Amino acid sequence: MNFYLKNFLFLISVLFVGSCAIQVAPTGGVKDATPPKAMKFIPENYSANFAQSDIHISFDEYIQVKDINSQLIVSPPLKYQPEIKARSKSLFIRIADTLLKNTTYTFNFGNAISDITEGNIFENFQYVFSTGNQLDSLSASGKVENAFDNKTLGGIDVMLYKSIDDSVPLKQLPNYLARTNAEGRFTINNVSAGDRKSTRLNSSH
């Protein structure tokens, strides 16, 4: 075999080996479309005789919290906004207020909680507890419309008062609070039993 033929065959073999060594980036697999899932609660969700100021919730993946001040609805409302922090796969809640006795509280996080990788939202996640020995189980729901054109109103705060005094919205915080969705509908859960005649419903922007 002559010198030029040997060099030609050697060059072909080098090119073949080099092409086999080319690295191809992985496709990444199927995109994650599942929101985070709450795995453990301290204290337990829907627990009675709640007397703590700190709450720890663990999830099955890394989470993030966005727009918590506008998304979080606490019912009955608290005087001071609770401190909310997301760290790794955990959510930490610190309550600064003195809680009312024998009262069921609902923390609705709206669309604030999502996973870090794909931003999948855990919609309307709720943490509920009672400072008494049982959870209140009644609910109130409805739809808010503009009285002039009958158009539904989304993002409206709906307040439920136990008093029917006309000036009560100016004097005190509501006993229960919810926010309408895009279709103008709302639901207030964990309402205590009482006299229906002494209940007042208000809404505001």
How far apart are alpha carbons 82 and 94 in whole angstroms? 6
Q: What's the one-letter identity of residue 33?
A: A
Q: pLDDT at position 203, please?
A: 64
| Tokens describing residue 66 | 């966005």
Percentage of the residues of the chain whose pLDDT score is greater than 70 = 80
How far apart are alpha carbons 73 and 155 in whole angstroms? 12
Q: pLDDT at position 2, please?
A: 55
Beta bridge partner(s), residue 109: none
- Residue 63's CB is within 10 A of a number of other CB atoms, namely 23
Which residue is listed with tokens 């279709």? Answer: 183
Which residue is listed with tokens 């020995």? Answer: 133
Beta bridge partner(s), residue 129: 47, 105
76 and 94 Cβ atoms separated by less than 8 Å: no
Q: pLDDT at position 55, please?
A: 98
Q: What's the one-letter identity of residue 144?
A: V
Read off the pLDDT of residues 101-157 as tens digits, 9 standing for 90 and up.
999 999 999 999 999 999 999 999 999 999 999 999 898 899 999 889 989 999 888
Beta strands per DSSP E along 26-119: 38-42, 54-59, 63-65, 73-75, 83-87, 90-94, 104-108, 113-115
DSSP state of 5: H
Choose from 12-26, 31-45, 148-162 the range with maximum mean pLDDT. 31-45
Choose from 20-34, 61-75, 155-169 the range with maximum mean pLDDT. 61-75
| Tokens describing residue 201 | 């419903």
